[in-house]
Structure 1
């Protein structure tokens, strides 16, 4: 049993894999057939000298037939047990948990989730026999919403339902199924060439504003969308063009000083909750490629980042990052690391970040908001479990951005991942 996942484009294909048990059964069958044929060959080619020898040969052949029947019976029992165990495994893991017999399930969803046999049979290298389209098992909790997402006309324009897709993702329904319709297109006119695009205002017409309360960037800049996005869409007159190059306090590290800690080995990075992409823009000026993880919560972050000539990754933090192990030189995050919920949720996130960061790479924790001392201690204990080297570590206070007069505690750090043997 078991499964193996293969990344294809933006989807995931899951395959069945031959087990050790099935291999042993195949060997047993081969030996049984070989033994039977040898006895048969002996019976037809030899000439018994007396009746007693003939009787012994007949008795042996009869025993072989009984053994073959017993072997066949055992093989059938093993096959039946394998099927039962496979079904139990799928139920435990959540595969095939969506009840496709429901009357409100879209036909496109049923078609997408069908198993597809490989056209040339079993693959000799991987042992797979069929391809199974993967959909997040949490989709079962939102089956009606998922069916709404998959209700469309094939080869025609998709419904303007990006907000439905994001709602499913935030509910843990990830990955989403692929669709056979054309996504709504917005003419990207007035885009600036790179690198001047990094700091040029983005035209309102290049963005799909459906689902947002604001319908232009001027409206967004008048709101505080988060701790790391207050006027973050104003690239000219706001404070965004000063970030990472001019410190506003002791918790603000400058890009040049952090890159110096990497000893010239910082080439590619990953930014979590990067707002409008300013960190990636500053890194691009230093010839460092940064992928920005984002969702369109209250604002079109993904389209804005792309309009700047940068790479947005539309993915929730509950999803395993689609990168191979030890590939990034730098991981940058701020309060986006605060995933809430149980401590184990942050554990899983931190271990996945550690997985994609190469040994010797830098983990930059930038102005992480500590709601209380216990939260700061918990995060500190978690970081210390990884054995990172503390290159910079600053705990400081800032005035409450809401203007309440209270001070808030922030933690900034640059840590270096050790080489583990």
Structure 2
């Protein structure tokens, strides 16, 4: 082994022979380098293995924690979906009825069975089945409802319209459909052709009198059936055939005076609590179609209106009107608007009237009785909230059972809201 010596100047290089000491030193240095490298390699390898073990353990721990969190989230989502589905069922009446109870009529069980959607799950709502329409409060009156639904399928229905109306007045609306034939009343040769039918007397035989105290129209004409129905079935004698064309007080607006106030013309209207249909008949004389909301409270109002060739709508004033928004040119209401109870009850009704009345349409409030100052304040404040334009507004007095009561008559125009 020799060392290399570079001598600058003469351009030559000479090798010297290595001595024993220098060789031993070189061997020791090489051994030290190798030993150091071996220790470093061992240390690195040992450390790497330890770190990998720790990292693997840490990763496994993190993965376990993540899995637990994901599982927890999935369980929460599943629980929320179940809660939402249950809420939906409760709101829609999916499980309102306990159909396992022994007093539930078989026809009611058949009617309330769930039916799968023909095309499967609806992608927007997630609903998979259809449920028959039935009022929420029907469940509260299940015994009476079972009585109504206890009939022989495909046979004649029991003469129980009074049971149906009792359910409606208890909030069971809409009623379930039935698979039986309703009792018919022959009207052949008894109905007059339109428009003569509007003011011709109605034959007693055209009406089903079961469940009513009176069995003929003369009996009804001798009764006061409400503030707006005194002799209202008498189309020949009395004041009924003069209503809306001849006033008895300043609060009795004439129909032609109101029609000229209509912006854009009056074509279709809705009479809230239409009595015997005289308002609709007056409008029909002027080529305006009016639907009359009514019930058969102590009298056959619906059949009487239909016999006149008019459109009766059989529903209570607690029912949301089955019409789309902003469709009627005119809504007429009288003291039947006074539904009693808290002011909020009147508000719900008034907001639904406002909903079906088109912008620019007329709301005719006809002889509304102010029972007290509280009702007066509630109604007038409500009208102010709506922002209706007051086209006519008359407060006066009217006799009622020998007493003088305050009444309001008004024609209001619905504004355009943006």
Q: CA RMSD in A?
A: 2.6
Q: CA deviation at 1:84?
A: 3.0
Which is worse superposed, 182-191 or 371-380?
Answer: 371-380
Distance 1:227 1:207 in 2: 23
| 1:325-340 superposed matches below 5 A | 325-340=325-340
The secondary structure found in structure 2 opposite 1:188 is: coil
The secondary structure found in structure 1 opposite 2:374 is: helix
Deviations 1:317-364 (A, max 9, x none): 111100000000000000010000111110100001000000000000
Contact 1:95 1:137 in 2 (8 A): no
The secondary structure found in structure 2 opposite 1:225 is: coil
Deviations 1:258-294 (A, max 9, x none): 0000045110000011110000000001110000000
Q: CA deviation at 1:419?
A: 0.4
Q: Does 1:320 align with 2:320?
A: yes
> 1:141 is matched with which residue?
140
> 2:99 is matched with which residue?
100
Q: CA deviation at 1:85?
A: 3.1
Contact 1:232 1:240 in 2 (8 A): yes
> 2:311 is matched with which residue?
311
Contact 1:267 1:288 in 2 (8 A): yes
Q: Does 1:224 align with 2:224?
A: yes
Q: Does 1:296 align with 2:296?
A: yes
Contact 2:151 2:180 in 1 (8 A): yes
The secondary structure found in structure 2 opposite 1:367 is: strand
> 1:274 is matched with which residue?
274
Distance 2:319 2:164 in 1: 15
Name which one, 1 or 2, has greater alpha-carbon Rg: 2
> 2:28 is matched with which residue?
none
> 1:413 is matched with which residue?
410
Distance 1:110 1:288 in 2: 43
Distance 1:314 1:338 in 2: 18
Length, aligned pairs only:
363
The secondary structure found in structure 2 opposite 1:81 is: helix
> 1:163 is matched with which residue?
162
Distance 2:103 2:147 in 1: 9
Contact 2:269 2:288 in 1 (8 A): yes
Q: CA deviation at 1:123?
A: 4.0
Distance 1:162 1:249 in 2: 38
Q: CA deviation at 1:377?
A: 2.0
Q: Does 1:395 align with 2:395?
A: yes
| 1:12-411 superposed matches below 5 A | 75=74, 78-91=77-90, 95-123=94-122, 128-189=127-188, 190-400=190-400, 402=401, 404=402, 406-411=403-408
Query: Please, what TM-score do these two structures have when normalized by structure 2?
Result: 0.81
Distance 2:386 2:213 in 1: 42
Deviations 1:29-54 (A, max 9, x none): xxxxxxxxxxxxxxxxxxxxxxxxxx
Q: CA deviation at 1:82?
A: 1.2
The secondary structure found in structure 2 opposite 1:181 is: coil
The secondary structure found in structure 1 opposite 2:171 is: coil
Contact 1:154 1:180 in 2 (8 A): yes
Distance 2:231 2:180 in 1: 35
Distance 2:72 2:344 in 1: 48
Contact 2:263 2:360 in 1 (8 A): no
